[in-house]
Amino acid sequence: MTLNFVHTICPYCGTGCGIDLIVKDGKIAGVEPVKFHPVNEGKLCIKGRYCFEFVHSEDRLKKPLIKKNGEFHETSWNAVLSVIVKRIKEYGDEIGFLASAKCTNEENYVLQKFARVSGTNNVDHCARLCHAPTVVGLGEAFGSGAMTNSIEDLEESKCILIIGSNTFEQHPLIARRILKAKEKDAKIIVIDPRKTHTAKFADVFLQIYPGTNVAVLNGIMNVILREKLYDEEFVEKRTRGFEEFAGPIEKYTPEFVSKICGVEPELIEKAARIYAESEKSAIVYCMGVTQFSHGSDSVKACCNLALLTGNVGRPGTGVNPLRGQNNVQGACDMGALPNVFPGYQKVTDEKARKKFEEAWSCELSGEAGLTVTEMIDEAGKSIKFLYIMGENPVISDPDVSHVEKCLRKLDFLVVQDIFLSDTAKFADVVLPACCWAEKDGTFTNTERRVQLIRKAVEPPGEALPDWKIVSMIAKELGLSGFDYSCAEDVFNEIRTVMPQYAGITYRRLGLRGIQWPCPAEDHPGTQILHTEKFATPDGLGRFTAVEFRESAEKPDDEYPFILTTGRIVFHYHTGTMTRRSEHLAGEVNECFVEMNPEDARRLGVGQGDCVKVKSRRGEIFARVRLGDIKRGVVFIPFHFAESPANRLTLCALDERSKIPELKVCTVKIENLKVEQKWQ
């Protein structure tokens, strides 16, 4: 028997916990948390504990597949490469790419380079459905769209305001730090329509209606201004735009705001005083802030609040968007976005473009490309060929009936995945990729920590690392600059074009990783951003006036409930990985709709009953789960392909960031009375 321990990182959420995979005779037999890891300190959540269970699934993709007469047939790499290359040549720039926050930095770098060198900036990924408003809003206010402080640093805080984040279920090992802060007497404020596991630990809980964050945050700032609880010195020395911002706040009195968000004025006042009067206050936010047609405004309101009270640039403070996917921070850093090259250098900036033209020896387009949702909409029009690496939009995009219709209009669809996902079923060609345990590379977690992942086991069949597949296609097309022999080769190129990563080497990463910016090899990396000045052109933090706007759909007689969607602790997104895990699927394996008990009573339904949930886009079945959720609001997780929440959601976009409003749409609920099986 051979036994090996391979140090790597958990493949699920952006917390980035350090793990050792226990490899017995070439198969993963278990997981141990790394004791001295700076993020998880020897602890794991349940997903981390069982993160290896999908790796050796029988139904992993093992060979390239090609569709003929509606059926997939196994084929060789050579055959499939020549088909893809022939098609790419046919479509010129009518082509789009979806990169992947599940893949490594190296893989995302190679994919976006391939897209750009082939002449298009049509490259984007699931950050569009996630933290695109953070990249825009936090980017404008502070000059950088990344989490300002560190996970460990949260323990220093005296007040943590958690808005739109169910940290205890979605970032459990960050929640652990919040609990440690609470043990040291920090006050916890939670703003959420649901009394989540996170909200149960709150000292003050504001149970608002979905879509009313801007109102409640403006209300809090109204109290802070009125009671002169703000930090005048910070505002004067380190910010600009205060006057323009403060004027419009006047009308957001707690009484006015209370009517919009359904929370007592006294609670808003209480939250305002605790946040402003604590010596160090941190804001933690996630999808309950970003996934709205006004997502960028909510992010800016969070920034305004931190600037107003001088809660930036010190330990225990900051504005901390919790990045979702294991490598969504990295995929953004790598330029898997339509408007920026690696390192957030704008494609429209001539100097930046020249730099990349020189580095990659090619001509580059100076026009921003299309986003995920735009590429899907343009399918069959300006996009004829779509290449999807590690995303599953048929379950994860809003209004999936529309997505399916669009994918059918494509001339050619390539899907590169580890399983035959629901999206792969629409493909003309499916390419088998290695999963995280079968390759080397780096992930960048939510606190900007770049960390090594290491190959632990051999891939199934002929599956290859994503960077290798894309490089093979590029070379087959005759492009130069894709002769990488290993992931480290790619990383060494990344360092030369991205100042934030310039000082990072594989050797330096060791077991703890390094937090960017790290400009030189003797630089230790950066724990806290904006300590002396902001990353804006003039070094000042920028206030922006934001007004409350309503969500795209409002409840009416026909569709009386507000539906909000999200996650549970046991499952991950579209379920391709967690639903193949015996232990995780064993916990929860069917869709539910969380309802207020009083709403359920009026409908005549109870715990466990099967109901039909219907929106203007479609309908699904789910089982009733009673919970502490605002009256008139229901919650459905989007993990279950047989009852996809995204049949119901709509594609109303935030104008600035193009994120869809995944957290608010309206539905009706029908009591099926008789038990119906829907699978």
Looking at beta carbons, which pairs linking 408-411 to residues 24 or more positions away fall under 8 Å? 409/379, 409/380, 409/381, 410/379, 410/380, 410/383, 410/384, 410/385, 410/386, 411/87, 411/91, 411/380, 411/384, 411/385
Question: Taking the alpha carbons of 581, 582, 587, 589 in that order, is the dihedral positive or negative?
Answer: positive
Closest CB 445 distance from ligand SF4, rounded Å: 8
Partner that binds at residue 16, options ligand SF4, ligand MGD, Mo ion, none, CB closer than 5 to 8 Å by kind: ligand SF4
**Is 45 a residue that touches ligand SF4 (CB under 6 A)?**
yes
What DSSP designation does 13 have?
Answer: B
x/- site string to ligand SF4, residues 154 to 183, per CB under 6 A? -----------------xxx----------
Q: Is 44 in the site for ligand SF4 (CB under 6 A)?
A: yes
Please tell me the distance from the alpha carbon of residue 50 to that of residue 582, in angstroms, as a whole number: 9
10 binds, among ligand SF4, ligand MGD, Mo ion, none (CB under 5 to 8 A by kind): ligand SF4
Interaction of residue 130 with Mo ion, rule CB under 5 A: yes
For residue 262, is it left (φ>0), alpha (ψ between -120 and 50) or beta? left
Does 193 contact ligand MGD by CB under 6 A?
A: yes
- 315 contacts 279 by C-beta, under 8 angstroms: no
In the complex with ligand SF4, the residue whose CB is nearer, 45 or 332, is 45
Minimum CB separation of residue 113 from ligand MGD in Å reads 17
DSSP state of 138: H
Q: Does the protein bind ligand SF4 through residue 13 (CB under 6 A)?
A: yes
Residue 615 interacting entry, from ligand SF4, Mo ion, ligand MGD, none, C-beta within 5 to 8 Å by type: none
- The CA distances from residue 336 to 145, 436, 673, in Å, are 15, 19, 48
Q: Which residue has the tokens 């990463």?
A: 509
Which contiguous run of DSSP H or E holds residue 429? strand 429-432
Round to whole Å and give the CA distance between 640 and 645.
8
Q: How far is the CB of 161 from ligand SF4 (least distance, A)?
A: 21
φ/ψ (deg, to 5) at 408: -65, -25
> Which region, judged by CB under 6 A, interacts with ligand SF4, from 37-45, 142-150, 264-272, 629-637?
37-45
173 binds, among ligand SF4, ligand MGD, Mo ion, none (CB under 5 to 8 A by kind): ligand SF4
Is position 176 an interface residue for ligand MGD (rule: CB under 6 A)? no
CB of 330 to ligand MGD, least distance (A): 13
CB of 121 to ligand SF4, least distance (A): 31
Half-sphere exposure (Cβ direction) of 17: Cα atoms closer than 13 Å? 29
DSSP state of 458: P
Q: How far is the CB of 646 from ligand MGD (least distance, A)?
A: 5
Q: Is residue 390 at the binding interface for ligand MGD, with CB under 6 A as the rule?
A: yes
Name the nearest CA neighbour of 115 among 492, 379, 479.
Answer: 479
Candidates 81-89, 316-324, 373-381, 541-549: pick the segment binding Mo ion (CB under 5 A): 316-324
Q: Is the peptide bond between 517 and the residue preceding it cis, with omega within 30 degrees of 0?
A: yes
Phi and psi at residue 347, in whole multiples of 5°? -65, -20
**In the complex, minimum distance from the CB of residue 503 to ligand MGD, in angstroms, rounded to a whole number:** 27
Q: Does 48 bind ligand MGD (CB under 6 A)?
A: no
Helix (H) or strand (E) holding 240, with range, is: strand 239-240
Residue nearest to ligand SF4 (CB): 48
Of 46 and 83, the one with the shorter C-beta distance to ligand SF4 is 46
| R_g (Cα) of the chain, nearest Å | 24
Under 8 Å CB-to-CB from 215, ≥6 apart: which residues? Answer: 252, 257, 260, 261, 548
Pick from 196, 320, 451, 500 the residue near ligand MGD by CB under 6 A: 196
CB of 407 closer than 8 Å to CB of 378: no
Among 324, 369, 459, 566, binds Mo ion (CB under 5 A): 324
> What string marks each residue from 420 to 439 as x (binds Mo ion by CB under 5 A) or -?
--------------------
- Regarding 396 and contact with ligand MGD (CB under 6 A), the answer is yes
| CA-based max dimension of the chain | 72
- Binds ligand SF4 (CB under 6 A): choice among 17, 99, 334, 552: 17
What are the Cα distances from residue 294, in Å, to 81, 210, 556, 599? 42, 12, 21, 28
**How far is Cα 18 from Cα 32, in angstroms, rounded to an integer?**
9
Binders of ligand MGD in range 208-247 (CB under 6 A): 208, 210-211, 213
What's the token pair of residue 595? 């309802």
The residues in 565-604 that bind ligand MGD, with binding defined as CB under 6 A, are 565-567, 569, 571-574, 576-577
29-37, 67-75, 116-124, 384-392 -> range binding ligand MGD (CB under 6 A): 384-392
Distance CA 39, CA 10 (A): 11
Distance between CA atoms of 620 and 612, rounded to whole angstroms? Answer: 6
CB of 233 to Mo ion, least distance (A): 37
Other CB atoms within 10 A of residue 113 CB: 29
Q: Is 130 in the site for ligand MGD (CB under 6 A)?
A: yes
Is 66 or 577 the residue whose CB approaches ligand MGD more closely? 577
CB 59 within 8 A of CB 460: no
Question: Least distance (Å) from ligand MGD to the CB of residue 446?
Answer: 9
> One-letter amino acid identity for 207?
Q
Count the site residues for ligand SF4 by CB under 6 A: 14
Contact indicator for 639, 581 with CB cutoff of 8 Å = no
Q: Which of 51, 66, 129, 132 binds ligand MGD (CB under 6 A)?
A: 129
Point out which span in 59-67, 81-89, 388-396, 401-409 binds ligand MGD (CB under 6 A): 388-396
Query: Where on the chain is the footprint of ligand MGD (CB under 6 A)?
Result: 13, 47, 100, 102-103, 126, 129-130, 163-166, 169-171, 191-194, 196, 208, 210-211, 213, 286-288, 291, 324-325, 389-393, 396, 416-419, 421, 433, 435-436, 466, 564-567, 569, 571-574, 576-577, 638, 645-646, 649, 662-663
Query: Where on the chain is the footprint of Mo ion (CB under 5 A)?
Result: 130, 324
Query: Where on the chain is the footprint of ligand SF4 (CB under 6 A)?
Result: 10, 12-13, 15-17, 40, 44-45, 47-48, 171-173
